[in-house]
Homo-oligomer: A and B are copies of this chain.
């Protein structure tokens, strides 16, 4: 499975492609950051994010896109930009018919470090180890994007079993109502 992880942001949008399956060593295919100028018009920044994500999709052809789920507890201005950048990433994936998975920051941290409250340095260190890199990817947004992709590869089997169970339950329930 080849996954594009996206740590959404307007100023720096982290992107990382990881390939592999749960239980086997994973491989980093690429990592980077899509940047947009802080002083540009919001609509042009969103367009630049779209163009950046499209390039990554074209170049690396992932089968799935994992995006950080945005919460609005944090700084109000930042969160709006993050939500909007994440919308662009999801839209690019959906347009190509790629499945989109959302993972919360604590799910990602727990997946790669064992603790949902790990700090940036810990996430960077584990990403470096798990993908056998020579140094932690910089900036942190790039490392976070790789962590998201790793998290997705490891969680995907459990998530797909869960979805199948929900689908079975729903179809039974519907049959029950129709009868």
Q: Which residues of A contact B (CB under 8 A)?
A: 41-44, 46-47, 50, 70, 72, 76, 79-80, 83-88, 90-91, 93-95, 100, 102
Evaluate contact between B50 and A91: CB separation under 8 angstroms.
yes
Specify which chain B residues have a CB less than 8 angstroms from the CB of A83 in the assembled complex: 80, 83-84, 87
Main SS at interface, chain A: helix
**Cα–Cα, bound, A83→B76 (Å):** 12
Number of copies of this chain in the oligomer?
2
Which are the 8 A-B pairs with shortest beta-carbon distances?
Answer: A84-B87, A43-B94, A43-B90, A43-B100, A47-B94, A87-B87, A83-B83, A46-B91
A101 to B: closest C-beta gap in Å: 10
Kindly identify which residue among B47, B80, B95 contacts A72, using a CB–CB cutoff of 8 Å: B80
Evaluate contact between B47 and A95: CB separation under 8 angstroms.
yes
A121 to B: closest C-beta gap in Å: 29
Specify which chain B residues have a CB less than 8 angstroms from the CB of A93 in the assembled complex: 43
Specify which chain B residues have a CB less than 8 angstroms from the CB of A95 in the assembled complex: 47, 50
A85 to B: closest C-beta gap in Å: 8
**Cα–Cα, bound, A85→B88 (Å):** 10
**Cα–Cα, bound, A44→B97 (Å):** 9
A78 to B: closest C-beta gap in Å: 10
A55 to B: closest C-beta gap in Å: 15
**Cα–Cα, bound, A50→B84 (Å):** 14
